Amino acid sequence: MRGFPPPSRVTVQHALSLRAWALDLLIARDADTRAAPRDCVARDSPETWDLVLRSERCALPLRSRLARGSPPSLPAGPARVLETRATAELQRVLSVRGQLRDIQQLATVHHLQPIVLKGGVAALGGTEPVSIDDLDVLVAGEQAGLLGRLLDERGYRPLSAESPAHLPARLAPNAVPVEVHFKIPDLDQTSDLQAGAKPFPGFPGLWRLGPADHLWHVLVHSVVTHPYRRGCLRDVVLTSTAVGECSPAELESVASRIARHPQRNPLGAMLELAQAVGRGKTVLDRFSADAAANYLLRSRFSWLSGLRVLEATGNMVFVMLGSRSERRAEWVRVLGQSEVPSPWRLLAAMERRWPRLGETSRRLLRTARLALLRPLAWHIAASASRLAKRFPRGAEPADLAHPGHATVP
């Protein structure tokens, strides 16, 4: 979250207005129904545009929508920011396509069955590519380790520690990181997903999840695994594309899974927003508070990302914006058994030498950190909720608050 403009140059309410216009643009089916930039959106500072586009990661689909109609009436500053961010997103998409062709070649030679996940499907399918920060592929059993070693032979190097779900992320020059998964977080039925995978049309050697499983995965990933991405316009577009690939029966099966899930409300809201984009029908944006929280964390509270011990505050903010069961689950995770070694060297050494003492110390430190950071997380979440409530969809910020309250609170 570093590199964002100072809070004095950014107005969260104007950022929310820009998000509302962007969502209208994504939902509109043709140029005649496409919303023109509102006055407050058009005159917003380039810093506000940069904040929104970096947070929502939707510059590429926005540029595409604007190019389909009449020339966009954006001032030079915002137009330049949009073009810069869209170009950066496109470069990542092109990189991913090249990397997937490399993996396709390795899979063919070594008889692997890598399953392309999430944004990689959109990047390779070409229907509606979206910004992608890393490339995820799912490989069964020992094949995951083999693919990791083959990538290393191609110049990739481990970038991070191994997780309970994937090998250490691997990075090569001028490429996005690759995560080779052997399971999918927050989805218990990984073996069932693999059994239902299908060959990727046009790319022999590569596979993808079935339409319903792909939709379910992108929903769970953006709502449950990473709560800070709830309502993120990039993920809304990706989910909308996944919805469009499903038959009515497959959509019904996903709706049934949502109904049985503990986090059915945000999952249902995300699906509803994605369907609105696909159908061209406006719905209430139920993620305004989440968006406001992201804008706050990336402007006034960007300093939190500079210290590793404070980075957890961002995740806590979205837990606080969620349900009571999510807050209880957070305590369960803190008090539960650690699945991977501690990233802190001293704790990791204690866990190796004295496992019980190391694990107990780690739980105590996690508990203390949660207790100390929760008040700050609550403050940010409460501020985000107040901003969202003062900004009903479609209203202009100038109509909602005194100018003295327009900047980040």
Chain segment 224-256, per-residue pLDDT in tens: 999 999 999 999 999 999 999 999 999 999 999
For residue 69, the model assigns a pLDDT of 62
pTM over 0.85: yes
Mean pLDDT of 52-80: 84
pLDDT greater than 60 at residue 395: no
> How far is it, in rounded angstroms, from Cα 229 to Cα 287?
10
Count the alpha carbons within 13 Å of 307 in the hemisphere toward its beta carbon: 8
pLDDT greater than 60 at residue 403: no
CB 340 within 8 A of CB 161: yes
> Across the chain, what does the average pLDDT equal?
85
For residue 399, the model assigns a pLDDT of 38
The alpha-helical segments, DSSP class H, found in 176-232 are 190-195, 211-220
For residue 223, the model assigns a pLDDT of 96
Mean pLDDT of 341-359: 75
pLDDT tens profile 176-229: 999 999 999 888 778 888 999 999 999 999 999 999 999 999 999 999 999 999
Mean pLDDT of 339-367: 76
For residue 1, the model assigns a pLDDT of 43
Share of the chain above pLDDT 70, in %: 85
pLDDT greater than 60 at residue 341: yes
For residue 402, the model assigns a pLDDT of 32
For residue 400, the model assigns a pLDDT of 36
Confidence of residue 306 (pLDDT cuts 50, 70, 90): low
Confidence of residue 7 (pLDDT cuts 50, 70, 90): very low
Domain segments of the chain as ranges:
7-305+378-405
pLDDT greater than 90 at residue 286: yes
Q: Provide the token pair at 155.
A: 């110049």
pLDDT greater than 90 at residue 151: yes
pLDDT greater than 60 at residue 39: no
Mean pLDDT of 330-338: 75
Residue 115, beta-bridge partner list:
138, 207
> How far is it, in rounded angstroms, from Cα 72 to Cα 21?
13
CB 114 within 8 A of CB 147: yes
What's the CATH code, domain 7-305+378-405?
A: 3.30.460.40
Check the CA dihedral 20-23-25-29 and report its sign: negative
Q: Which residues contact 86 (CB under 8 A, 6 or more apart)?
A: 59, 60, 62, 63
Rounded to the nearest 5 percent, the helix, strand and coil shares of the chain are 60, 5, 35
Q: Which of 217-221, 266-270, 356-360 has the lowest mean pLDDT?
A: 356-360
pLDDT greater than 50 at residue 405: no
pLDDT greater than 80 at residue 393: no
Q: Which of 133-147, 275-289, 393-407 has the lowest mean pLDDT?
A: 393-407
* Long-range contacts at 33-41 (CB < 8 A, ≥ 24 apart): 33/280, 34/65, 34/69, 36/73, 37/72, 37/73, 37/74, 38/396, 39/396, 40/14, 40/396, 40/397, 40/398, 41/14, 41/17
